Structure 1
Amino acid sequence: MERQIPKNVRQIGNVSDSPKIYVEDYVDTFFAQLSDKYRNDPQKPLGAFLIGDFQTYEGEDYVYIYGAIQMQELRVSGMEYLIDDETWKRAYEECKQFFEEGELIGWFVVRDDAEKAPGNSTVKLHKKSFPKKNTVFIICDPQEKEETYYVHKMNDLMEIGGHYTYYEKNPCMQDYMISSRKKNGAVQTEVVEDKAAQNFRDLARKQGRRTRQKHQGNFVYAMSVGLVLVLVIMGVAMLNNFNKIRKAQNQIEEVAGTINTVKDSDNSGSSNEGNDPNGGQADGSEDGTADENTGAENENSTAGDDADQGKTDSAANKNTDTEKSNSASDKKAEGDDGTSKNGTDGTASANSSQAKNSQSDEVVEASAVPSSSTNGSDGVYVVEKGDTLAIISKKMYGDVTHIDAICRMNGLSNGNLIYIGQKLLLP
C-alpha cells in the first residue's frame, strides 16, 4: 500500500541518512513501556518484533514502523541473542490477529549491558531472520532512555543518525496495547490512550497556534492595506471636492461681476435717456432727433413690420398734410398783412404744428410697441422704451444670463446698439 509522507512529525536526531525511518507515536510509547518494565525487573532482556512496510518515493527509500509485538521470550548467551521457534510462531499469530497485512521488518531489544554496536552474532541473526534490505534493528538503553537505530544495508547493520516520530490514528496498535497491558506494564487502558493522545494534542495545539499567528498576521496586513486604500480614496475625494468648491467660487464671482456690469449698464442707460437709438438705449424723447417726423419715420421703417410701416406712412402723410395746412395758414396770414414776418401769429402756428407732430409721433410709437403682457410670447420681442438687453433678458427669463445668447441669435456685435421697435428673436 502506497503511503503519503506524514505531515505531523517530530524529528529525533540527524535524519540525513538513508533510508528515512518513520515510527508511529503509539509504537514509540510501547518502546517506552518496555523500557520501564525492564527497569522494574532487570533479570532478563526484553524484545519486540517491528511491524511496518517499505516505500520508495522520488528515488528515496522510506521505512514506516506502525506496530510492535512483544517477544514471548528473548534469551541471551554471552553477547548472543537467541529467539526460539515458539516465539516466532506466537509473533506471526499476533501479527495476523492485530495487523492483518502487516510484515515483520525488524526487532527491538532493551537491556543494560547491551553492546554499543551489534556484534557478528547479532548481525548474523538479523541477516538470517530479516534478510531484506532496509530492515531495522533497535537497541534501547533503559537508564539513558536512548534508542539507537541500525539498518540492514551493504550486507551489514549500519547505524542511522536519527528518525521521525509521526502521529496518526492507529487503531491496530491501540487494540494490541490494550490486550497486552498486563505484559507491557500498562496499568489502565486510559493511561496508554491518554499519553499518545496527549502527544498528538500537544502537537496539534502548537500547529494551531502557528496557524492562528499566521492568520492574525495576514489579517493585520490586510487591514493595513485596506486602511491605506481608504486614506488614498479620502484624499482623492477631498481634492476633487476642493476643485469643485474652487470652481463654484469662480462661477459665483463671474455671476457677481455680470450683475454689477448689468447694474452699471442700467445706470448708464438711465443717465443717457434721450440719446440716439444707435447710442445703446431705446428712447422716444423728442430731443434725440433733429427732425421728429423724419426720426419717427426712420424708426418705424427699421422695425421691419409691414403693418407698422403702413401706420408709419399714414402718420407721415398726416404730418405732411399738417405742414401743408400750416404753410397755407402762414401764407394766408402773410397775405392778410401783405408782408412775410416771424411775428406772434407765425410763432403760434409753428407751435401748433409742432404739437400736432408730437401727437402723431406718439401714435406711431404706440402702434409700433405691443403691450408688455404679450411682448415676446411668440419668440419675438419688440424693443420698448427704456429697454436694454439686460432688462429684456430679465423680463423674458428672470435673470441676466441670456444677454450673450440674444446677441448671438440676432447677430448683434454690440449689445448696446438697439433701438425702439427693433424685433429681437428670443433664444
Structure 2
Amino acid sequence: MEKQFPKNVRQIGNVCDSPKIYVEDYVDTFLNQLCDKTDEEPKGAFLIGETGKVEDQDCVYISGAVRISEIVKNENQLNLAEAAVEAGMKDCKEYFGNQSLVGWFLIDPSRKPGTDEALEKIHKTYFGEENTVFIMKDPKGREEKFYAYKYEELMEINGHYIYYEKNPEMQNYMISSRKENRITPSESIADRAAKDFRSIVKAKLEKADQKQNNRFLYAASTFLLLVILIIGVTMVNNYDKIKAVQTSLDQITKTVEKAEGEEEAQASGEKVTTEVEEGTDVKSSSEDTLDIQEQETSGGEEYYVVQRGDTLATISRKVYGDTSYVDAIARMNGLTNGDFIYIGQKLLLP
C-alpha cells in the first residue's frame, strides 16, 4: 500500500521546502526531555524512521529516537564515539526492528543551533544518504534548526510537521530508558502545545467512533425491521403472530431511541474514553468488557496500561490507594488534560 501523508498534523514554521519532515509526537517529547536534562556536556540521539516519496514529494518520517550514549568533545570539536554508534545501532534494532537511521539530533550548550565543518563531517560519515536529517536545539528548547542532507551538504529546512499516531515502539523505549536518561516524576514537558494537540485529535477520533457505532446500529435495526415486516405480511391471518410482530417492532423502536439519546448525551458533553485507530475496525465485544487493572514492568520500570473507564484519579486510587498522585502521573507522561487518555495506553508510574 502506498504511503500517505499523515492526517493529524501540526505545522511548525514554513513547510514549503523539500523534503517534507514529519516528527512523531512521542519523538518530539523525547527530544524535549533531553533538552531539559542537558548539563554542560553535549547530548544527542539517533533518529529512526523512513524516507521516500508521497505524491511525488520527498518526505522523511521520524517515528523513533534512541539516545547517543557518548559524544566526544575535543577543543570545541565534536565527534561520535565508535562505541556509542554501536550501542545506538543495537538499541535501534532492539526497539524498532528493521527501521532505518534517518539522521541525528544534537544539543550542545556551548554553541547556538547551526552547522560547522565538524558537524558536516559527522553527518556525511554516518548519515550520508540523500534527505537524511540533522536537528539541533538549544538546551532550553527555545530555538531549533532542521537540516536535510542534499547535494552533499546540510541545507536548512525552514519548517516541519509534528504528527500524531499510536507509537508503542517509541513509548516502550522511553519507559525502558527512563533511569538512564534521568527522567523523573517532577519533570515538565517544554512543548505543551504538542500535548494539547494530542488531546484534540483523541477527542475527534472518539466522536468519529461513536458516530460509526450509531450508524451500524441504525442500519441493523432497519434491516431487522424489514425482515419482521415481511414475516408479518405472510402471517396477516394469524392474530397471535401479528401481536408478536408488533411487540418486536416496539422493542426495536425503543433500541433506536435509546441509541439516539446516547448520541445526544455525548454531543452535550458526556465524556467517553475509548481506543480508536484510524483505518481499523471497531473493537470486539470481548475487548469492550475489559475492565481489569493492568500494571506491568519493563526493564524494572513500572507502568500502567489504561483500561476502559479509567481516569488519572481512578488510576491513582487503584495503584496508590488515593488520588494524591494525579499530578505526578500527568507530569510523568506529559499530559496537560488527564481526561484524554485511551485504552491500551502505557502510563509511566512515579
Q: TM-score, normalised by structure 2?
A: 0.54
Residues 202 and 190 of structure 1, relative CA distance in 2, 3 Å threshold? farther
After superposition, residues 182-197 of structure 1 pair within 5 angstroms as 182-188=179-185
For residue 129 of structure 2, what is the amino acid of its counterpart? K
Verify the 8 A CA contact 1:33 1:185 in the aligned structure 2: no
Q: Secondary structure at the match of 1:66?
A: strand
- The equivalences for 1:64-213 within 5 A come to 64-188=61-185, 199-205=197-203
58, 70, 73: which one pairs with 2:55? 58
State the 1:190 CA deviation: 12
Q: Is the 8 A contact 1:54 1:64 kept in 2?
A: yes
* AA in 2 matched with 1:154: Y
Paired residues of 1:151 and 1:158 also in contact (CA < 8 A): yes
Shift of 1:162: 0.6
Residues 180 and 191 of structure 1: CA distance in aligned 2, closer, same or farther (over 3 Å): farther
Residue 179 of structure 2 aligns to a residue whose secondary structure is helix
Counterparts of 2:58 and 2:146, CA distance in 1: 16
Which structure 1 residue ranges, 5 or more long, are not aligned? Answer: 211-427
Write the deviation string for residues 187-222 of structure 1: whole angstroms up to 9, x where unpaired.
259999xx8876422334478899xxxxxxxxxxxx
Conserved in 1, the CA contact under 8 Å of 2:47 and 2:101?
A: yes
- Give CA deviations for 1:353-412 in whole Å, capped at 9, x if unaligned: xxxxxxxxxxxxxxxxxxxxxxxxxxxxxxxxxxxxxxxxxxxxxxxxxxxxxxxxxxxx
Alpha-carbon distance in 2 for matches of 1:115, 1:3: 36
**Does the 8 A contact of 2:102 with 2:127 survive in 1?**
yes
Whole-Å separation in 2 of the counterparts to 1:36 and 1:90: 23
8 Å Cα contact 2:36-2:140 kept in structure 1: no
Structure 1 residue 117: Cα displacement: 2.6
Report the Cα distance in structure 2 between the residues aligned to 1:23 and 1:77, rounded to whole angstroms.
31
Question: Any idea what the Cα deviations from partners look like across 1:203-246, whole Å, max 9, x if unmatched?
Answer: 34478899xxxxxxxxxxxxxxxxxxxxxxxxxxxxxxxxxxxx
Q: Is the 8 A contact 2:79 2:118 kept in 1?
A: no
| Contact 2:113–2:144, Cα closer than 8 Å, also in 1 | no
Aligned pair in 2 of structure 1 residues 23, 116: CA closer, same or farther (>3 Å)? closer
Q: CA RMSD in A?
A: 2.9
Pairs aligned (count): 207
- Show CA shifts across 1:24-83 (max 9, x none): 000000011000001xxx220111000010020232100000000001111222342111
**Larger Rg belongs to:** 1
Instruction: Structure 2: give runs of 5+ residues left out of the alignment.
Output: 209-350
- Could you tell me the percent identity over the aligned residues? 46
The aligned residue for residue 23 of structure 2 is: 23
SS in 1 for 2:183: coil
Aligned to 2:154, the other structure's residue is in SS state strand
| Separation in 2, partners of 1:161, 1:207 | 30
> For 2:168 and 2:187, how far apart are their aligned partners in 1?
14
Map of 2:37 onto structure 1: 37
Asked whether the equivalents of residues 55 and 62 of structure 1 are also in contact (C-alpha less than 8 Å), the reply is: yes
Separation in 2, partners of 1:160, 1:169: 26
Q: For residues 76 and 11 of structure 1, do their structure 2 counterparts lie closer, same or farther at Cα, with a shift above 3 Å needed? A: same
SS in 1 for 2:15: coil
The change in CA–CA distance for 1:116 and 1:31 in structure 2 (over 3 A counts) is: closer
The alpha-carbon deviation at position 102 of structure 1 amounts to 1.2
* In 2, Cα distance between equivalents of 1:108 and 1:92: 15
In structure 1, give the amino acid aligned to 2:177. Answer: S
